[in-house]
Structure 1
């Protein structure tokens, strides 16, 4: 049974991780200019968007929240790709994206989290947290070396 999860869990980890890192790269302006399907392209545009999800906060607080979200998303992306503490990171990913989904739904309507595939990311992360073995990961390597 464990072997049946090898490739799907690996692909899910990589897809989720790349999704987080691409989003972070977009908001930090790290993607090449003219890249198709960029959402923000610069930090200020991302912070403006973050402000729409947190209209009850002033700009300095929105900057802090945007910075925290970016830090956590980058960390989650990297940790998922390398497969370190995968179960806990997948749970953190699910919680973080659930918060995004709820905020987007409340302040922008249901279409916004659907367009950003936030529900899919949340659910995929939750599913990943239930998989018993994370092959091709630091977790698995550590387990085998003990």
Structure 2
């Protein structure tokens, strides 16, 4: 069970970091989805057509910052259950936005519901393994 928890933490975190790196132009153009920040913001607007244009950069920044923060905390194992739940919620929001704006097929193609479910499952695994939370708990005792 310990290695499954570690695998879930790393898989979700690396997925977030890869997507963030893509929108920040850190992946080669021939393998990237967005390739740059402006293309990502255009996609953000497609997924959120009800959001005013002026708020799209803020929404994109908040989503990207959340993904990076959640990823770091999942990798190091800080408040794992909390950040797993927040990751599940964020991924579910992405999935629903995609479903209602561009259709359900892309949600299934990109396994967004699966990633959300994996994050929620991770939040239920209580046994600590290679987590900063272990060190914090030891200091308290």
Q: CA deviation at 1:35?
A: 4.9
Show CA shifts across 1:111-135 (max 9, x none).
Answer: 1111221111100000000001120
Gaps of 5+ in 2: none
Bigger mean CA offset, 133-142 vs 14-23: 133-142
**1:59 alignment counterpart:** 53
Are residue 116 (structure 1) and residue 110 (structure 2) matched?
yes
Show CA shifts across 1:83-120 (max 9, x none).
Answer: 10100000000111111111100011001111221111
Gaps of 5+ in 1: none
**1:43 alignment counterpart:** 37
Q: CA deviation at 1:57?
A: 2.0
Are residue 140 (structure 1) and residue 129 (structure 2) matched?
no
Q: TM-score, normalised by structure 2?
A: 0.94
Q: CA deviation at 1:59?
A: 2.1
Show CA shifts across 1:30-63 (max 9, x none).
Answer: 12x2452x11010000000000011112322111
The 2-side partners of 1:62 and 1:26 are apart by 18
Are residue 127 (structure 1) and residue 121 (structure 2) matched?
yes
State the secondary structure of the residue aligned to 1:129. helix
State the secondary structure of the residue aligned to 2:127. coil
The 2-side partners of 1:134 and 1:76 are apart by 17
State the secondary structure of the residue aligned to 1:30. coil
